[in-house]
Amino acid sequence: FNRGEFNQIGRNLPRMAVSAFFQATIFVESIKDLIVTVITITNKKREAILCPDRSNPI
């Protein structure tokens, strides 16, 4: 490492940290959405099993 390379890394580090943080945030949000979707589908299936007359009225 010479000083110029070190300065360039120092300048790029905050930008890399910010982009990594945003990617992590997006990743967490998409996992939350996935979990919510799975729970919703599971609940609907459970309702359909418990109350079949409500999901398809005769």
Place of tokens 């120092």: 10
18-27's contacts with Cβ under 8 Å and 24+ in sequence apart are none
* Alpha carbons 33 and 16: distance in angstroms, whole number: 26
Tell me the residue type at 57.
P
* Confidence at residue 25, expressed as pLDDT on a 0 to 100 scale: 95
- Per-residue confidence (pLDDT) for residue 50, from 0 to 100: 74
Assigned token pair, 43: 């609940």
Instruction: Report the C-alpha gap between 55 and 15 in whole angstroms.
Output: 51
pLDDT surpasses 70 at 34: yes
> What are the structural domain ranges in the chain?
24-58
pLDDT band, very low/low/confident/very high, at 33 (cuts 50, 70, 90): very high
Token pair listed for 46: 């459970």
